[in-house]
Structure 1
Amino acid sequence: MRTVTLGGVPGRVVLGEGIPKTIVPLTASSLEALLAECAAAAAAECDIVEWRIDHFAGFRAAPPGDAPRGAPSSGGVDSILEAASHLTAAAGRPLLATFRTASEGGASAISPAEYEALLDALVRGGGVQAVDVEHFRAPGLTARVAEAAHAAGVAVVASYHDFGATPPRERILARLAAMAGSGADVAKIACMPKRMEDVLTLLAASSEASRTLDAPIIAVSMGPLGVISRAAAGQFGSCATFAAVGEASAPGQVPLAELEPVLRSFARWSSAR
């Protein structure tokens, strides 16, 4: 499996190398509160901060004319790019920019055209080190974003989220393979289990994908049942896992202070075999 490097020195993070990297989401609606969350995440020594732009009030600023409700205006995009610059400077580590759409469990709706335009602005704006792209939102979307992102030195995480169920193992593998083959640097899937067997299905798919795909993967089983997928992420092939500093942004997300020692213990036990 190849590795993916985010950021420069200092603050450089390599995905696909060593123990899984910890990603802490920032979900405040104002820049002031975001900076406070960012400071807390940095103090907790996470590896990567994720900015969940769908929670940010600034993206909805003054939509012009007949723009879709909730779509970012040019002023909204400007405020997003300005905030990204402040957050990157404050984080001291890579910033992953994510607009999680309502259709995949996010806080805000956005039209397909506005979503792609926002991602394009983020990768060209120079304020982030990686962007999340909902791979199945539109045909060819990930490839288009990846072309611009790679020209700007920005990494791409292609993602898919199912808050209703866990697909069969073959479908999980197919989705991860499609994302890995799209030009994305990392392929991510998060699914909701209804029973423990669903967690085992995701973990088995994660393990196989990590051995057979060229891109690093992130596979998460959400909710209380899926906590083991976060704690044992490295044993089942995930290059990173999401943790909370303060309020969790997804079901089953574990506090970073509790998760990080477990990740290190699993890595130590595994290497001692």
Structure 2
Amino acid sequence: MKIVVPIMPRSIEEVEAIDLERLAEADLIEWRADYLPKEEILKVAPAVFEKFLGWEVIFTLRTSREGGKIELTNEEYVGIIKEVAAHYQPDFIDFEYYSYQEVFEQMLDFPNLVLSYHNFEETPENYLEIMSELTSLSPAVVKIAVMAETEQDVLDIMNYTRGFKTLNAEQAYATISMGDLGILSRIAGQVTGSCWTFASLDEASAPGQISLATTRKFLEILEK
């Protein structure tokens, strides 16, 4: 399982101030561009991609529809993604499938999509339907992050991931049970088949996220 570290710069100066040595244990970088005003994203993009030249980068616009920091119309959302993709070719592009399903057809030419679903309130009863639909679209990665309300929620997410991965060996999954209860799901990829876990440097981007250093230690123990 690879470790993704989200970066959430609010200015070019914050991008330039990032200490790459502190990210040495990370496998991928997720640029959470939603921490910037929408008119600043394309201005800051060159600094981000120059800073992380040689790294695998996930470009993410986590919108307010799914717990993020920015509100965008369908046209704005797709427009920013297309601009960044055309000029900087990020290794992966996060797409909030259920929030922007109406414009999903415009994304069909992108082979590197991370089709994502986020629910910061609960683990929904139709979780299996969501996982099945996203799997049927064969993206680069199916990413699902939902809030754990009970220990059983955590075990269910881990079990469902294992089941889907067994039946769809070629499909990559990144599944997370959020909150303190769900921490186990963040380090159990070797068992469940989840390909990524998300770890924080200074500021967590989701509930239950643990530090990069701690995540690496856990994985070294579990993946011996």
Match of 1:217 in 2: 173
State the Cα distance separating 1:159 from its structure 2 match.
0.3
Q: Are positions 1:162 and 2:141 aligned together?
A: no
CA RMSD of aligned residues (A): 1.9
Q: What does residue 73 of structure 2 align with?
A: 111
Asked if the contact 2:4–2:196 (Cα under 8 Å) also holds between the matched residues in 1, the reply is yes
Counterpart contact for 2:59–2:92, Cα < 8 Å: yes
Cα distance, 1:83 vs structure 2: 3.3
Select which of 97, 110, 123 maps to 1:135: 97
Match of 2:3 among 14, 22, 32: 22
Q: Which has more radius of gyration?
A: 1
Match of 1:35 in 2: 16
**2: CA distance, partners of 1:235 / 1:160:** 22
**Which whole-Å CA distance do the structure 2 matches of 1:93 and 1:156 have between them?**
17
TM-score when scaled to structure 1? 0.76
Question: Is 1:88 the counterpart of 2:43 in the alignment?
Answer: no
Take 2:121 and 2:223, find their aligned partners in 1: how far apart are those partners? 31
1:53 equivalent in alignment to 2:36: no
Counterpart selection for 2:107 from 145, 148, 167: 145
Question: 2:12–2:44: 8 Å Cα contact kept in structure 1?
Answer: no
C-alpha contact 1:172 1:205 (8 A) present in aligned 2: no
CA distance in 1, matches of 2:104, 2:221: 35
Q: In structure 2, what residue type is equivalent to 1:245?
A: L
Q: Shift of residue 115 of structure 1?
A: 0.3
CA contact (8 A) 1:28 1:34 kept: yes
Q: Shift in Å at residue 252 of structure 1?
A: 0.5
Instruction: State the alpha-carbon separation in 1 of the partners of residues 16 and 89 from structure 2.
Output: 15
State the Cα distance separating 1:22 from its structure 2 match. Answer: 0.2
Matched, 1:204 2:159: yes
Give the equivalent residue in structure 2 for 1:100: 62
CA distance in 2 between counterparts of 1:133 and 1:172 reads 18
Measured after TM superposition, the shift of residue 125 of structure 1 is: 1.4
CA distances 1:113-171 after superposition (whole Å, capped 9, x unpaired): 10011111122113422110001123364453241x23xxxx21110000110023xx3
Relative distance call for 1:256 and 1:85 in structure 2 (3 A) is closer
Query: CA, structure 1 residues 183+80, in 2 after alignment: closer, same or farther (shift >3 Å)?
Result: farther
Question: 1:66 matched to which residue of 2?
Answer: none
Q: Structure 1 vs Structure 2: percent identity of aligned residues?
A: 29
Using the TM superposition, give the Cα deviation of residue 38 of structure 1 relative to its aligned residue in structure 2, in angstroms: 5.9
Question: C-alpha separation between the residues in 2 aligned to 1:256 and 1:109?
Answer: 29
Matched, 1:248 2:213: no
What is the rounded CA distance, in whole Å, between the counterparts of 1:181 and 1:263 in structure 2?
A: 30
Q: TM-score, normalised by structure 2?
A: 0.91
Q: CA separation of 1:192/1:30 partners in 2, compared to 1, >3 Å: closer, same or farther?
A: same
Structure 2: gaps (5+ residues):
none
Gaps of 5+ in 1: 1-19, 62-75, 269-273
Q: Distance in 2 between matches of 1:264 and 1:227?
A: 16
